[in-house]
Structure 1
Amino acid sequence: MPLPDDDHTGSRIREQRRLARLTQRELADRIPYSLSLLNQVECGARPATPGFVAAVAHALRMDSSKLTGPAAVTALPADRLLALVAPIREALDRFDLGPNPDLTTVRPTSVLIAEAEALCRQVRATHLRAAAKALPALLVELTHTVWTAPSTDVWRGLASGYRTAHDIALKLDYPDLARIALDRMEWAAGRASDPCIEAVQRYKRATLWRCATSAPLIATGHALLAGETSREALAVTGQLHLGLATVAAKNEDAGAVQTHLTAAREMADRVGGEAGEVHWLSFGRVNVRLHELGTAIAMSDFDAALGRARTIRLPDSTLTSRRARYLVDRALVEMEAGSPRTSLRFLAEARKVAPEQTRHLPGTRATIRGLVHMSRRAPDSLGGMARWVGL
């Protein structure tokens, strides 16, 4: 069942009423307005006046702002979230200030590079808070080191740290900070003279922007790797094709989607197996299948998406972040297929596997909204899920 096109105060009143497990009659009995008016407001035929909104909010025991605009989706209270993000922003701002006179000790380069890799691993395991807390100090030390004892390995480590900053910022819904981190990644990758890292940065920029410049950005990534035949280069090239397939799907260009998915499959065959060690892209045949599912969803081809989702079998080695994304996608297509219980089951599994990531995925909120609209009275489990994401 597709989501309704409207997103107005009336539709949000309807959602919250159903989450409260009330019929229209039961809510109308609690407010000084008629059942007929409530019905018209929920359908969008009549505007919701401030007095009407206030009465409904009082009856539902919630702040009226939740009915007049979309609630912010955050994994933590705003002050605690800011406490995580602010130090990362400050560390990113130090990139061109030279050696840090406030540092009394700096860990050896080998230790810093190993920690950069460990933080990448934590993010892929969706341990976002732990990674966010450790990242600022690492960035400060790596930045100091590239100014005092620069080497290719240190520049690569700093580029990796900036990429982790991007991933954390994006998953915590700070796209502006994610863009800054990618700018810093480009700065460090260029000094590392590593075309694969530069190409990964272009891929990240393209998937973040999702606009007309995305395809040219990915094309420049391909140009950086022209003639490269290493396993690393093949995996990154294949991932770039998956990025172009995603962009084409958003532009509803089915021909281009198939062209790039086919190219990605060929690269996966050449790589052989799953290249999980290559820049944490997890490129391989399974990743190609997951992108086949994702592109079908992006083009609203839910019949094809459902068929693909039900045939995917994720190996035990699949990264937690990938597994959670698949489970949310599966929940979305099951909802669209009219299977609310199955959809809710996959959503609950995604929450169990990776709660921090699942809460922020757009598909989570879209699925919950769809399930609410399918239910005359939302079951307790759905109501709890809706409260969890801030709906």
Structure 2
Amino acid sequence: MPLADDDHAGYRIREQRRLRRLSQRELADRIPYSLSLLNQVECGARSATPGLVAAVAQALGVDASKLTGPAAAGPLPSERLLALVAPLREALDRFDLGPNPDLTTVQPARDLIAKADAVCRQVRAARLRAAAAALPGLILELTHCVWTSPSAPLWRALASAYRTAHDVALKLGHPDLARVALDRMGWAAGKASDPCTEAVQRYKRAILWRCATSLPLISSGHGLLTGETSREALAVAGQLHLGAVTVAAKNEDASAVATHLAAARELADRVGGEAREVHWLSFGRVNVQLHELGASIAMRRFDDALGQARALKLPDSMLMSRRARYLVDRALVEMEAGSPKTSLRYLAEARKAAPEQTRHLPGTRATIRGLVHMSRRAPDSLGGMARWIGM
């Protein structure tokens, strides 16, 4: 798998060359530079001059920015992403402006509450664009209602809609907007006086930031649940431990990972089965296994991750968003194990299962770049996958 310090112009030249199934000799024959120089540039021994970059870009039929600039951040053109997120951003900005005079008709509260649940279900089914299209209007109507006829169920529904907005923004590559949505979720959850919803918001903040304040957020989330013994509270407490696993893995704290995994397993046993209906967390034994796999990947313990990935048996009821994430993780660890064909097969499965989500997962790009790095000439299927994510 390519390391961060491999991300230089020479590496990207090699990457694009292999995607076009050219050898170094074949590319050198197409540019006014020697094979020896091209080899040194590709391996990072020499810097790529502007003239060489321009010549290679012309020979490969790509824009020079693909060879000199950062890797593309997302597969959708910026104007299409803007069309998805701009209305959502505007809806989030109306949170404290009181009743909306532009809304001439508003759906009944029970319908809005049901729609908040439905749009969350769309995200779990990896239908991101459908959710992104539905959210702005839903948030505007819910915001209007909590100002005109506030109730705990409406505040909870608004908090849920904000949480879904966070998920959509994050999956579409807008972490700044995801943070705004989480702030709004915390505001609405506080108005609802719902400790479980507030704890879920702390969990989301912790895994989004993954910094020094993340573990205190996890602790404060557990504090909100003190004395709570319902199945809902147990599931949320368990998910908080899984959030701590994610943070600890990023910090390569194997001891903390093991401690929080053990606590999550104990709570999963008490919850029994998969708590899909609890804040759409799907907390349960399989979710604990998925987080254990993710922690092994984050800590680059790929031998452990490979065994965990191959031992996992996902139930048919597993949410599509989680299934796609597992398939991408499986592709990544198979690539690291030196099984490129198997890796590419799992990527293809993820693409078929949840194309919108798979395109945006960081593991997808890391796996494809790793597979290109392993291939002297990328097979057509890999080249097609690379073009699909914008490489």
Tell me the TM-score range normalised by the shorter chain. over 0.9
Equivalent position SS for 1:173: coil
> Which amino acid in structure 2 is aligned with residue 247 of structure 1?
V
Number of the residue aligned with 1:67 = 67
Number of the residue aligned with 1:390 = 390
TM-aligned CA deviation for residue 2 of structure 1: 6.2
Equivalent position SS for 2:6: coil
Matched, 1:95 2:104: no
Number of the residue aligned with 1:17 = 17
Matched, 1:345 2:345: yes
TM-aligned CA deviation for residue 226 of structure 1: 1.2
1:72-117: per-residue Cα shift (whole Å, max 9, x none)?
2324221121011100000000000000011100000000000000
Number of the residue aligned with 1:120 = 120
TM superposition score normalised by structure 1: 0.99
Supply the distance in 2 between the matched residues of 1:383 and 1:102 (Cα, whole angstroms).
49
Matches within 5 A, 1:80-229: 80-229=80-229
TM-aligned CA deviation for residue 390 of structure 1: 1.1
Equivalent position SS for 1:11: helix
Supply the distance in 1 between the matched residues of 2:73 and 2:387 (Cα, whole angstroms).
10
1:289-342: per-residue Cα shift (whole Å, max 9, x none)?
101111111111100000000010100000000000000000000000000000
Equivalent position SS for 1:74: coil
1:29-83: per-residue Cα shift (whole Å, max 9, x none)?
0000000110010011111111110000000001000100123232422112101
Equivalent position SS for 1:273: coil
Number of the residue aligned with 1:6 = 6
TM-aligned CA deviation for residue 6 of structure 1: 1.5
> Which amino acid in structure 1 is aligned with residue 105 of structure 2?
T
TM-aligned CA deviation for residue 3 of structure 1: 4.6
1:121-151: per-residue Cα shift (whole Å, max 9, x none)?
0000011111111110000000000000000
* Alignment coverage as a number of residue pairs: 391
Matches within 5 A, 1:167-316: 167-316=167-316
> Which amino acid in structure 2 is aligned with residue 336 of structure 1?
E
**Conserved 8 A contact 2:2-2:369:** no
Equivalent position SS for 1:350: helix
Matched, 1:47 2:47: yes
Supply the distance in 2 between the matched residues of 1:75 and 1:372 (Cα, whole angstroms).
18
Supply the distance in 1 between the matched residues of 2:250 and 2:151 (Cα, whole angstroms).
40
> Which amino acid in structure 2 is aligned with residue 307 of structure 1?
G
Supply the distance in 1 between the matched residues of 2:246 and 2:208 (Cα, whole angstroms).
12
> Which amino acid in structure 2 is aligned with residue 44 of structure 1?
G
**Conserved 8 A contact 2:2-2:373:** no
Supply the distance in 2 between the matched residues of 1:283 and 1:362 (Cα, whole angstroms).
23
Supply the distance in 1 between the matched residues of 2:39 and 2:87 (Cα, whole angstroms).
48
Equivalent position SS for 1:252: coil
Supply the distance in 2 between the matched residues of 1:249 and 1:136 (Cα, whole angstroms).
35
Supply the distance in 2 between the matched residues of 1:129 and 1:294 (Cα, whole angstroms).
26
Supply the distance in 2 between the matched residues of 1:306 and 1:190 (Cα, whole angstroms).
42
**Conserved 8 A contact 2:324-2:357:** yes
Supply the distance in 2 between the matched residues of 1:129 and 1:2 (Cα, whole angstroms).
31
Supply the distance in 1 between the matched residues of 2:381 and 2:70 (Cα, whole angstroms).
21
**Conserved 8 A contact 1:156-1:192:** yes
Equivalent position SS for 1:279: coil
Supply the distance in 2 between the matched residues of 1:94 and 1:377 (Cα, whole angstroms).
52
User: What's the Cα RMSD here?
Assistant: 0.9
**Conserved 8 A contact 1:3-1:370:** no
> Which amino acid in structure 2 is aligned with residue 176 of structure 1?
D
Supply the distance in 1 between the matched residues of 2:71 and 2:268 (Cα, whole angstroms).
41
Equivalent position SS for 1:390: coil
Number of the residue aligned with 1:326 = 326
Supply the distance in 2 between the matched residues of 1:99 and 1:8 (Cα, whole angstroms).
52
Equivalent position SS for 1:112: helix
Supply the distance in 1 between the matched residues of 2:257 and 2:208 (Cα, whole angstroms).
18
**Conserved 8 A contact 2:75-2:390:** no
TM superposition score normalised by structure 2: 0.99
TM-aligned CA deviation for residue 4 of structure 1: 6.9
**Conserved 8 A contact 1:75-1:172:** no
Supply the distance in 1 between the matched residues of 2:74 and 2:265 (Cα, whole angstroms).
36
1:321-379: per-residue Cα shift (whole Å, max 9, x none)?
00000000000000000000000000000000000100111110000011001000000
Supply the distance in 2 between the matched residues of 1:173 and 1:36 (Cα, whole angstroms).
39
